[in-house]
């Protein structure tokens, strides 16, 4: 797996909501689970993470939790697997 588009397809094949996103964190992948309805918001999720580039590899940010000072950097395939595991374990 080499591209964000391939990662999105991989994550979606497991039933996760996943999209490419370019913003202040750079070229990221937003991955989410458990959609919820919120008045006035078109799309919201109970659980979400970002996969983002760091030091030529990829890291996963849980969004709600504290950011580690030295996040783990791994190949994109492994980051996708970590993202899915993280979402499955979030309460």
For 79, the domain range is: 4-89
pLDDT at 91 over 70: no
15-66 pLDDT tens trace: 999 999 998 888 999 999 887 777 776 777 888 999 999 989 999 988 776 6
User: How many structural domains is the chain composed of?
Assistant: 1
What is the number of other CB atoms lying within 10 angstroms of the CB of residue 55? 8
pTM: 0.86
What is the per-residue pLDDT for 24? 85
Q: How confident is the model at residue 74 (pLDDT cuts 50, 70, 90)?
A: very high
With 0-12 / 13-18 / 19 or more C-beta atoms within 10 angstroms meaning exposed / middle / buried, residue 77 is middle
């Amino acid at each position: 797996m080499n591209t964000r588009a391939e990662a999105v397809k991989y994550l979606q094949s497991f039933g996760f909501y996943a999209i490419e996103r370019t913003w202040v964190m750079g070229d990221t992948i937003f991955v989410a689970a458990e959609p919820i309805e919120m008045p006035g918001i078109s799309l919201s999720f109970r659980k979400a993470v970002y996969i983002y580039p760091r030091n030529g590899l990829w890291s996963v940010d849980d969004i709600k939790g504290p950011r580690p000072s030295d996040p783990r950097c791994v190949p994109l395939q492994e980051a996708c697997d970590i993202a899915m595991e993280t979402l499955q374990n979030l309460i």
